[in-house]
Amino acid sequence: MFPRYTYETLDGMERRDRQRYPVPTPTAISLIAGGREYSGVIEDVSLCGARIRFDSPVTLAGPVEIAHSAVGRFHGELKWRAGNTSGLRFDDTEAAIGLCVHCLKQMVPIRRPA
């Protein structure tokens, strides 16, 4: 079997810093660059970054400001793009943890004692 090549891999080896987790329900996020706001949805998330799907292809790259309703604003960088999808690396660890917790809470079923 041949190694899988994606934007996150090179020579079939994983190049991500942290484990990624799929986000089960759409989680809206905005990126601000050059005075313009771009809206997207988080597809997967880690402590270091996220995969964002935009409504249409986005041509921006480099540093961006990230805005999320539950976490606030923090900084990051768009590292790659393919069509409507982009890879985002977080600069602010504390805000990134808050965003990850927000996204991952959706995956944990809430069970109340009987």
- The one-character DSSP state at 7 is T
Q: Which domain holds residue 58?
A: 18-107
Cα dihedral across residues 92, 93, 97, 103: positive or negative: positive
- Does a structural domain hold residue 11? no
- Provide the CATH number for the domain around residue 66: 2.40.10.220
- Cα 76 from chain centroid (whole Å): 10
Q: How many domains are there within the chain?
A: 1
Which of 91, 88, 84, 29 is closest to 59 using CA atoms?
A: 84
85 in any annotated domain: yes
Q: Is the dihedral of CA 9, 93, 34, 53 positive or negative?
A: positive
Tens-of-pLDDT digits for all 114 residues of the chain?
444 444 444 444 444 566 788 888 888 999 998 888 999 999 988 888 899 999 888 888 889 999 998 888 999 999 988 889 999 998 867 887 888 888 877 765 556 555
